[in-house]
Amino acid sequence: MTNPGLRERKKQRMYETVSDIAVRLFLEKGFDAVSVAEIAAAADISKPTLFRYFPAKEDLVLYRIADHEGEAARVVAEAGTAPVEALRRHFVEGLERGDPVTGLNDHPEVLAFHALLYGTPSLVARAHAHQERSEAALAEVLGGDLDARLAAGQIMAVLRVLALENWRRIAAGERAADVRQDAVAAAERAFGRLAAALPPGLPGNLDETR
């Protein structure tokens, strides 16, 4: 894999800088109280330039989780084992290291970001589109047929509900360290049920060889 060139690195820094400025302003004032013009001025760029990088105001926030779009599909494609087992292992490993995408992270900045994301209706809607694209990518890796789409829908729902439950408990005041054991147990239980319920013909499913 080649390293990105100077132009690509500068573009990436622009994405990161503008997103960071926007999120800081949103956290200070609220998402709806900050205009795109204010963000552009704070970043010392024009509004047209900002919109070239971020077509919608919500994208300034969702950039923070853009790397996770299609993550489930990548995990399954690279695993070479049963898809549910690969995703179970990946999610549990995320819990152990406090990956914010699992909801099991009580760092104040992470909590503030999640409160912004889940507390703003337009961001929730935008995140749903992110989820739909991830689901479609996973369905394609699983074979692309109806069974694959049904399986992808169930898998993504489990990932979403597990993460939201972890975040809900931490947002209510519990410490991540105190929630972790329950979170791992819930993940093991949920993925165990998925493995038993999904059709055996999915690519990489261990049941194919039985």
pLDDT tens string 157-199: 999 999 999 999 999 999 999 999 999 999 999 999 999 988 7
Rounded to the nearest 5°, which phi and psi values hold at 69? -65, 125
Spatial contact of 135 and 129, defined as CB atoms under 8 Å apart: no
Distance in angstroms (rounded) separating the CA atoms of residues 102 and 116: 16
User: Rounded to a whole number, what is the distance in angstroms from the first to the last CA of the chain?
Assistant: 38
Query: Which pair of tokens denotes residue 67?
Result: 């790397």
86-118 residue pLDDT tens? 999 999 999 999 999 999 999 999 999 999 999
Distance in angstroms (rounded) separating the CA atoms of residues 201 and 142: 9
